[in-house]
Structure 1
Amino acid sequence: MSSSTRITRLGLTLTAVGTLLVPALTAQAVPAAPAAPQASTPVPIVYPEGQTMSYVVNVGKVNHGQMLKAERAVKAAGGTVVQRWPEIGVIVVQSTKSRFLETLRADRKSGIESAGPTRTVPVSEAPGSDAGRALPPGHRKLADFEGAYTGDASPAAGTLDPFEPEQWNNAMIKADQAHKITDGDRKVTVAIVDSGIEANHPDLAQNIVPSLSVNCTGGGVTDTSATGWQATTSYHGTHVAGTVAAARNDVGMVGVAPAVKLASVKVVNDDGFIYPEYAICGIMWTAQKQIPVANHSYYVDPFEFWCGDQRDQAPVMEALRRAYAFADKRGVVSAAAAGNSAYDLANKTTNDSSPNDSTPIQRQINKTCKDLPTELPGVVTVSAVQQDGNLASFSNFGDGVIDVAAPGRSILSTVTGNRWGRASGTSMASPHVAGVLALLKGTHPNASPAQLVSLLKSQATNKPCPAGDARCTGTAQYNGFYGEGIVDALKAVQK
């Protein structure tokens, strides 16, 4: 690991000189200036001549003229515009020139604020396709799948779906009680920003809206084809979708808000990567379509933590910040998984899982380094609890970072192959929160994203830190394990 540069501030010591007759003063120690935070470790990236690399470019002023000027600079440096987002002043670019980024950054008249790579390896897919490449060693899982469920999913007598009595998770957040009042408003749609949804799953098909669904894994270009948004190699998005809105239809199980609609926004390619251009495309599509609730059960590759003090990583952070801020203005409220590394997000020190698309290195990280999108402003950060209500062993945590908690271990939901299965992860916790937000949106249709988040937090069931666990700091009303508490679906539907 390369050594990090430390920046030391100079303190001034003042000495009195002269013979003025003044009362004697007792010498006081001058407090030392606080040491500057240790810089994060740079991640070298090679730009092979002739091989296509991907970049994001952020213009300084968001207007038509500046976008055109920036695009001309991109072309002059040897780049090609793949996708443009004029609403936020972000351009997705590809280039085969090894000196492209260097040339672009040297152009002082381009109006470009920042530019940086989105990957540490060459692009493997053509724009508009989701072809990928083999997973590198150690590529992280989005969740732990426990296998297909073997219970009987056929219709049963009574008012409950067959698996509903086994859904301890819905009982914990009082969704089962909420359903006695309402299953949600069918005018509300939740964007499942994930790996795609199985279109013909018997518990999901009636709630999916194809016209609001999209595939973003072809270089960040929106693909609205009839099948592009569907699940291919991963069960993950289908599982998340079921937790939010598996239908009440006498088959399988039910979601937190079984009457609401679903939009499949595919940002996970067939190899399991969520590159920045995919994520930007996903949230921008959601914003443009004004889908009121979005769930994000992933972190943006190839870095588990993107560092703001790194010139190559900060541009992606800024592009994503702009995209999520735009979505917020368009009425989208986002819930996101806190992550599965059992990491204290409030006290970052080191990380050895990134970059995950090439060779991970041991990195020093600091407070400028963020898990994206869950640590972006306005995004609801969700930790996971297990059936006894305690924090799941895998869940990230952090005082001042976690907003709320929800069930995330051994969650029964829909999976590909027209089946059901159990999975564990904060990926499973976040959609419970998205479901509660959908219920809140139905009860408060004119509420802004900030108002919905405020309601979500104020209605959560407070949970204090477990006795003797020094990792958890805070009070019973708010702490780093559970945030404001475990979400409450019943309160969400009580006007």
Structure 2
Amino acid sequence: MPPMAHLVTRRRSVAAVAAGAALGAALLGGLPATQASAADEPRSTPVPMLTPEGQVSSYLLNARTANPGQTRLVERAVERSGGVVVQSWPAIGVVVAHSRNGDFRADVAKASGRALESVGATRSVAVTEGTPTAAQAPWGPGASGYQKGAKKATNGDVGSEPTVATTSDPRESEQWDLRMIKADQAHRITDGNRNVLVGVLDSGIDPDHPDLAPNIDTRSSVNCSAAGRPDTSATGWYPTTSDHGTHVAGTIAAARNGVGIVGVAPNVRMASVKVVNDDGFIYPEYAVCGFMWAAQQGMDVTNNSYYVDPFMYYCDDQVDQHAAKEAVRRAVAWSEDRGVVSAAAAGNASTDLATNTRDTTSPDDGATVDRQLNSGCEDIPTELPGVVTVSSVQQFPAGSGQSRLSSFSNRGLGKIDVAAPGSTILSTIVAGNGYGTKSGTSMASPHVAGVLALMKSAHPERTPAQMVAALRAQADDKPCSASTAGPACVGTPEDNSYFGEGMVDALDAVR
């Protein structure tokens, strides 16, 4: 996924696959009963998140009630416990803090009293990006840009009318993936509306690629990898060490301009929301920032081709993991409540998300642990409520227009919403402002984000929940028999573990 990574060598980023094919924290006496594992399930294997005295460690804190007043109480507790408030999100009651105090979790829990729901370390290593201060940007303690409503952002240089395809770009004939989801037919109706804005939560978008530059909304772009606080500098959202986000962006909305390829929704706008640091990690505070920024900027859709580091699965019965998962969940829910619908890659571990009980890859930023999982352990953001989970298919046989589940794709009955092409996908890359192929569920998810952008163009009145329901209902049924030998596919032709409700359908989305 990570990009899905994390982007993926380690699923360290989906980048790897894409390029080629806790305990110790104090929580007011423990987790709420509703978040503990079922009585008949074993607890997940503990994973210590060490925070040595003197090391700058990063934490997420969740207020018991999501409002500015309780959030301010948590901020003050951070300061009294030897911490620094790096970023505060009062709308969801989430605070990002750094501290050199090895006992920070216990101290801040005591200092917060009943105001704190949970606190946890977000990584198993020291902070490397530094600790911003309030003087460096207007996003300091208590001033997270909290607002009751978001204004629709525009880049000021384009009209709002939808366009219809009248020409073909030079390499459009190579894009079998667009034909498989009927995007080519949808383009006869609309290429999308300029009012629609898609947030690409990823490693950045090449700002001068000729197929992307016409559709990048620079004023809505941001870098969230600066310790989880929005960096609005002119170049902060540019790609640095990965072209993963550039490839994803091309699939979503490469312009119809007589150059290269065409995206699924070639007339909508995109914002680069950089959530990947230079080492390829997407820590929880980065993801929180990304979803909150998307909502505040009035985005319509986000694509999330990653999983949040350093855990492939976040377990509710582990204190640190619970705190991080809860913070990301709140951010996703808040963005959905403000009109943002999100698509996410299912992951590249060839795993059944509905039955998996083992993880040998986490934490991926330090010493990994062979751990047992339970039903409270989930891949985030893809398994969070409201997020569209996308599995990947490959063209098979080659050139046939038929497909089967990609060998790397995660699956799971009740986990996958829809499927989309994700193997050997041609799209934009940074090198030479050129084009290349990548594989991964990271490449499948942007097809769905593009379809959602087309749907929003044609049906601007729909809420995120209505869009997800329509997306699932319109998907073309793909029965298990359409797959090849491999891990068992279970379910019905209408809903199964490989393809969910079926292949996403761009044509139905716009008519």
Q: TM-score, normalised by structure 2?
A: 0.83
Q: What is the alpha-carbon distance in structure 1 between the residues aligned to residue 61 and residue 428 of structure 2? A: 38
Using the TM superposition, give the Cα deviation of residue 192 of structure 1 relative to its aligned residue in structure 2, in angstroms. Answer: 0.4
Check the 8 A contact 1:73/1:110 in 2, yes or no.
Answer: no
Check the 8 A contact 1:456/1:492 in 2, yes or no.
Answer: yes
Q: What is the alpha-carbon distance in structure 2 between the residues aligned to residue 441 and residue 175 of structure 1? A: 15
Q: What's 2:357 paired with?
A: 349
2:74 is the counterpart of 1:74: no
Matching residue's letter, 1:50: G
SS at match of 1:193: strand
Using the TM superposition, give the Cα deviation of residue 196 of structure 1 relative to its aligned residue in structure 2, in angstroms. Answer: 0.2
Equivalence map 1:248-267=2 (5 Å): 248-267=256-275
Q: What's 2:113 paired with?
A: 109
Match of 1:401 among 393, 415, 432: 415
SS at match of 2:201: strand
Check the 8 A contact 1:127/1:220 in 2, yes or no.
Answer: no
Q: What is the alpha-carbon distance in structure 1 between the residues aligned to residue 62 and residue 233 of structure 2? A: 28
Check the 8 A contact 1:203/1:249 in 2, yes or no.
Answer: yes
CA RMSD of aligned residues (A): 1.5
Q: What is the alpha-carbon distance in structure 2 between the residues aligned to residue 478 and residue 329 of structure 1? A: 27
Q: What is the alpha-carbon distance in structure 1 between the residues aligned to residue 374 and residue 39 of structure 2? A: 13
Match of 1:210 among 218, 221, 225: 218
Matching residue's letter, 1:113: E
Check the 8 A contact 1:70/1:110 in 2, yes or no.
Answer: no
2:454 is the counterpart of 1:439: yes
SS at match of 1:240: helix
Q: What is the alpha-carbon distance in structure 1 between the residues aligned to residue 438 and residue 363 of structure 2? A: 25
Matching residue's letter, 2:47: V
Q: What is the alpha-carbon distance in structure 1 between the residues aligned to residue 132 and residue 224 of structure 2? A: 8
Match of 2:445 among 411, 415, 430: 430
Matching residue's letter, 2:51: Y
2:100 is the counterpart of 1:83: no
Q: What is the alpha-carbon distance in structure 2 between the residues aligned to residue 127 and residue 105 of structure 1? A: 21
Using the TM superposition, give the Cα deviation of residue 73 of structure 1 relative to its aligned residue in structure 2, in angstroms. Answer: 1.1
Structure 1 residues 31-65: Cα deviation after superposition (integer angstroms, max 9, x where no partner): xxx96101100111221111100000000112222
Using the TM superposition, give the Cα deviation of residue 106 of structure 1 relative to its aligned residue in structure 2, in angstroms. Answer: 3.0
Q: What is the alpha-carbon distance in structure 2 between the residues aligned to residue 203 and residue 77 of structure 1? A: 50
Q: What's 1:358 paired with?
A: 366
**Max Rg structure:** 1
Matching residue's letter, 2:167: T
Q: What's 2:55 paired with?
A: 51
Using the TM superposition, give the Cα deviation of residue 308 of structure 1 relative to its aligned residue in structure 2, in angstroms. Answer: 0.5
SS at match of 2:113: coil
Check the 8 A contact 2:77/2:112 in 1, yes or no.
Answer: no
Relative distance call for 1:108 and 1:188 in structure 2 (3 A) is: closer
Check the 8 A contact 2:392/2:406 in 1, yes or no.
Answer: yes
2:429 is the counterpart of 1:415: yes
Q: What's 1:465 paired with?
A: 480
2:303 is the counterpart of 1:289: no
Q: What is the alpha-carbon distance in structure 1 between the residues aligned to residue 66 and residue 173 of structure 2? A: 52
Using the TM superposition, give the Cα deviation of residue 240 of structure 1 relative to its aligned residue in structure 2, in angstroms. Answer: 0.2
Equivalence map 1:24-39=2 (5 Å): 36-39=40-43
Check the 8 A contact 1:203/1:246 in 2, yes or no.
Answer: yes
SS at match of 1:437: helix
Q: What's 2:503 paired with?
A: 486
2:203 is the counterpart of 1:195: yes
- How many pairs are equivalent? 434
SS at match of 1:109: helix
Check the 8 A contact 2:391/2:499 in 1, yes or no.
Answer: yes
Matching residue's letter, 1:102: A
SS at match of 2:359: strand
Check the 8 A contact 1:127/1:221 in 2, yes or no.
Answer: no
Matching residue's letter, 1:70: V
2:171 is the counterpart of 1:163: yes
Q: What's 2:309 paired with?
A: 301
Using the TM superposition, give the Cα deviation of residue 311 of structure 1 relative to its aligned residue in structure 2, in angstroms. Answer: 1.2
Check the 8 A contact 2:73/2:112 in 1, yes or no.
Answer: no
Using the TM superposition, give the Cα deviation of residue 72 of structure 1 relative to its aligned residue in structure 2, in angstroms. Answer: 1.3
% identical equivalent positions: 58
Q: What is the alpha-carbon distance in structure 1 between the residues aligned to residue 96 and residue 49 of structure 2? A: 18
Q: What is the alpha-carbon distance in structure 2 between the residues aligned to residue 183 and residue 94 of structure 1? A: 45
Check the 8 A contact 1:69/1:110 in 2, yes or no.
Answer: no
Structure with the higher helix share, 1 or 2: 2
Using the TM superposition, give the Cα deviation of residue 469 of structure 1 relative to its aligned residue in structure 2, in angstroms. Answer: 5.3
SS at match of 2:192: coil
Using the TM superposition, give the Cα deviation of residue 79 of structure 1 relative to its aligned residue in structure 2, in angstroms. Answer: 0.8
SS at match of 1:257: coil
SS at match of 2:319: coil
Q: What's 1:244 paired with?
A: 252
Structure 1 residues 278-319: Cα deviation after superposition (integer angstroms, max 9, x where no partner): 000000000111100000000000000010111121011111
Q: What's 2:471 paired with?
A: 456
Matching residue's letter, 2:495: Y
Structure 2 unaligned residues grouped into runs of 5+:
1-22, 24-37, 134-165, 397-402
Q: What is the alpha-carbon distance in structure 2 between the residues aligned to residue 214 and residue 220 of structure 1? A: 11
Check the 8 A contact 2:123/2:310 in 1, yes or no.
Answer: yes
2:189 is the counterpart of 1:181: yes
Q: What is the alpha-carbon distance in structure 2 between the residues aligned to residue 162 and residue 38 of structure 1? A: 56
Q: TM-score, normalised by structure 1?
A: 0.86
Q: What's 2:492 paired with?
A: 475
Q: What is the alpha-carbon distance in structure 1 between the residues aligned to residue 41 and residue 63 of structure 2? A: 29
Using the TM superposition, give the Cα deviation of residue 75 of structure 1 relative to its aligned residue in structure 2, in angstroms. Answer: 1.1
Q: What's 1:28 paired with?
A: none
Structure 1 residues 386-427: Cα deviation after superposition (integer angstroms, max 9, x where no partner): 012110000000000000000000000000020100000000
Matching residue's letter, 1:119: R
